[in-house]
Structure 1
């Protein structure tokens, strides 16, 4: 059974509402982040249970999942973007907010250390080597859970009837003529693509699917395939000479993972 962190969840909901009330423009991106956070928490619960983590580690994983994007509200209020390169590192800002708000004061020292590390590291392209084992596991839980829900958000957004929100697609142009060759190479080579190499919305579709190569738990790999978000994002790509090979390779990877169960 997963630990009870309901008091933390109540604080987070109140904090998000307080920050939302300060936004005098469009609060919809902040609403998305609140929904995203709760979905990431649900994903983390499934992983922690599937992996059979000890209660203390499971609690740290859930707290890190709940607080991984606590900085997104302040980031949006300050900069009106979620692109860290154009604003601030939201993982490190999240650590500062948790300390400022004394959110982990009631937890033991080991839990505090793991949670702060996982929040601060969750948005790194790769984790540092030689992390303590429990810190590494918690960070991987958050990273997997986060990626799985970003797939949902992007599938719903790109598959919807309305125009794309510039904030949600990282202000990338929806131009079929623009293709990031480094993103396509990563997909064909079985590597995670880098945000810095994105040139278009289609590149984003590809990048999201390369995350499969960095899923660290059987439960997260299974959910990646079974949710269907990754497949729909790929099916939205053109099957032309530019995107076709990456599209086919990534679809084949999903089919292979599905066949293996």
Structure 2
């Protein structure tokens, strides 16, 4: 496979359009009497951070030129539906509003953003956008779609880890939007989340009962990192370690906290990692 992306990795025109689109949506929100553009600004920053994480993966993995371009476009556009979602519903919770992946697909089609791309690239990017927020990807996806969807999902998680680490290191009370309106109650926990972590699988949002559960769920994302480069970044960035260290050092979190910290710490300190 080709590994030098060259000009195929240049998506500056797409980045310019995205920046203008996001700014326009923010201006609409700001013009409202009770408008709050803060969450939308966070999504703009998040989208660019996910793109940067995707670039790191594309530079490290052995993707073809076409696969690399698909990954970068999908990363840039994965949350394009969030802006309209917030304007319409004032929330980023899909269950209380709409599926932002599907909304993003409709926006990209309406705006004809990918009409200038090769049909195979356009198809794979749109598929990755609509699939990126599923709990698990379906079996049998075309290779280019599967690679792009996994890159976006890994890159997305890596930035969310940083955002959550920075927020949960700050003063309380936590922003309800950031912590999904979960209570920060030491004695409240989910057996399902703890069990998932003990079994080495990703915990489900639907099982969360507290902020500590959320910390633990974020740590379990390591089990869903798809590439060597994203697993390495997951450990080396240190955000997951910080989040796990914030868990209570007593039951029922103690054993799973210690186990995950030892696993990630060993990987971080390994000479070949």
The TM-score with structure 1 as length reference comes to 0.97
Aligned mates of 2:36, 2:122 — CA distance in 1: 34
Larger mean CA deviation between 115-124 and 20-29 belongs to 20-29
Aligned mates of 1:162, 1:9 — CA distance in 2: 35
Deviation (angstroms), 1:133: 1.0
Superposition map of 1:28-107 within 5 A:
28-107=38-117
Larger mean CA deviation between 55-64 and 73-82 belongs to 73-82
1:11 aligned partner? 17
Verify the 8 A CA contact 1:183 1:207 in the aligned structure 2.
yes
Aligned mates of 2:36, 2:48 — CA distance in 1: 21
Aligned mates of 1:156, 1:78 — CA distance in 2: 28
1:193-245 residue CA offsets vs partner (Å, 9 max, x unmatched): 00100111111100011000010111100000010100111111111112111
Deviation (angstroms), 1:167: 1.1
Match of 1:128 among 138, 143, 149: 138
Verify the 8 A CA contact 1:187 1:249 in the aligned structure 2.
no
1:152 aligned partner? 162
Match of 2:226 among 216, 222, 225: 216
Cα RMSD of the aligned pairs, angstroms, is: 1.1
- SS of 1:22's equivalent? helix
Structure 1, unaligned runs of 5 or more: none
1:141 aligned partner? 151
Return structure 1 stretches of 4+ with deviation > 3 angstroms: none
1:118-145 residue CA offsets vs partner (Å, 9 max, x unmatched): 0000011110000011111111000000
Aligned mates of 1:97, 1:48 — CA distance in 2: 26
Pair member with larger Rg: 2
Aligned mates of 2:27, 2:182 — CA distance in 1: 28
- SS of 1:211's equivalent? helix
Larger mean CA deviation between 113-122 and 86-95 belongs to 86-95
Match of 1:239 among 246, 249, 265: 249
Larger mean CA deviation between 47-56 and 9-18 belongs to 47-56
The TM-score with structure 2 as length reference comes to 0.93
Structure 2, unaligned runs of 5 or more: none
Deviation (angstroms), 1:162: 5.4
Q: How many residues align?
A: 261
Match of 1:20 among 26, 41, 60: 26
Change (3 A) 1:160 1:243: same
Aligned mates of 2:78, 2:212 — CA distance in 1: 27
